[in-house]
Amino acid sequence: MIYMYCLKGLLKYMKFLKQVKAEMTKVVWPSRNKAIFYSVIVIIISLFIAYYMSLFDFLFVEYGVQAILG
């Protein structure tokens, strides 16, 4: 009984993997240059956002807390 249950699970898993493989053949992957370009853009935007978040954090800690606490 337990053997049949495990076998059904294994068969479902194998079917899922076959479907994944079929879908992966349909994917259009970007070229190496585009992937590098997009990665650089993401890094630049992340650094830009981190800079401004740290700037606002610094301003709030230095001036905002003093204004609130008096």
Q: 48-63: per-residue pLDDT in tens? A: 999 999 999 998 888 8
Identify the pLDDT of residue 8.
Answer: 82
Identify the pLDDT of residue 63.
Answer: 83
DSSP state, residue 25: T
- CA–CA dist 50, 42 (Å, integer): 12
Task: Using alpha carbons, list the distances in angstroms from residue 29 to 8, 14, 22.
Answer: 34, 25, 15
> Which of the four pLDDT bands, split at 50, 70 and 90, describes residue 6?
confident
The domain locations on the chain are 2-69
Sign of CA dihedral 25, 31, 32, 36: negative
What's this model's pTM, rounded to 2 decimal places?
0.59
Angle 59-62-64 from CA coordinates, rounded to 5°: 75
Q: List, for residues 16-38, the tens digit of each pLDDT value.
A: 999 999 999 999 999 999 999 99
